Amino acid sequence: MKTPLGESLTALRVAFTASAVAVIALVTVVLTGLGIWAWGLNWPQSDRLTLEAVLLTAGTFVLALVAAVVALAAYVAATQTPDLAPTIVFHVGQPNRPVFTVEAVPPVGKAIKISEWLQTQTTEVRIENRSRSSARNPALRIDLVGLSMTDFSAPGWEIVQRVRQRGVTAIQWDGGADYAIHGRWTRELPGFNLQDMYLVPEHLTCELRLTVVADGFNRVVRLPVEIIGPDQQPVALTSPPSQTALTP
């Protein structure tokens, strides 16, 4: 389905192409007419040849300007930035709305273990390119804010940050220099399981911070995490923040 912006850009490209063709045709007709007129003047042959050369030079200059404008427009179209939108879907919750359940609510200041079952497993991880421009060399980084894992392993994903006495706090997928997400396309990424995960008590909130990048593009998407207690009621994160805690 075409968007209003896409339709406007298409109409603009058609109008620009038609204008360039019209200018070239007009210059050709005018120069041909002036050349015939100049050659028919009752001037010495040397003067007529000089006038013909001037007309050809002027026409060449105009056509060079048209070519430069066309090349500039092509460059602008080729260097437009993509518009990438990451989406993560877990077995529990809606897209980009993770819901985790804790095994128990310990005293204030203690780490809270996230229950390990389908809620921490992804059913879908994807990056959508909403623009018409291809996204080259894409990558997706996921920072665990207020959360940490004792370890992590998943095909296609790498650990990119560990915090002392916390564990894994960031993972990343890299498409590579030869990887592209074409305009209006969606790429499926490898799934993963956030197992052995704990709620860090020093944080008043927790979230998954998604950073999606590509050549000339960078976007951060914050996904608040809803924490549910054993009684299926939301857990209020009211622990006071530590002054010495290391945060992701």
Average pLDDT, the chain: 83
The C-alpha atoms of residue 55 and residue 51 are separated, in whole angstroms, by: 6
177-203: pLDDT as tens digits:
999 999 999 999 999 999 889 988 766
Residue 224 has pLDDT above 90, yes or no: yes
Q: Which of 25-34, 167-176, 184-193 has the lowest mean pLDDT?
A: 25-34
What's the fold here for domain 84-228? Immunoglobulin-like (2.60.40)
Please give the pLDDT value at position 1.
Answer: 40
Residue 127 has pLDDT above 70, yes or no: yes
How many C-beta atoms surround the C-beta of residue 15 within 10 A? 10
3-state helix, strand, coil in the chain (%, to 5): 30, 35, 35
Model confidence pTM above 0.75: no
Residue 246 has pLDDT above 70, yes or no: no
Q: Where are the domains of the chain?
A: 4-78, 84-228
Residue 241 has pLDDT above 60, yes or no: no
44-80: pLDDT as tens digits:
888 878 888 888 888 888 888 888 887 877 776 666 7
Choose between 142 and 226: higher pLDDT: 142
Residue 20 has pLDDT above 60, yes or no: yes
Residue 12 has pLDDT above 70, yes or no: no
Candidates 75, 210, 83; CA nearest to 134 is: 83
What's the rounded mean pLDDT across residues 78-100? 89
Say whether 216 sits in a helix, a strand or coil: coil
Residue 108 has pLDDT above 60, yes or no: no
For the chain, how big is the Rg over CA atoms in Å?
A: 31
Please give the pLDDT value at position 41.
Answer: 84
Cα of first residue to Cα of last residue in the chain, in angstroms, is 40
| Whether 62 contacts 27, CB under 8 Å | yes
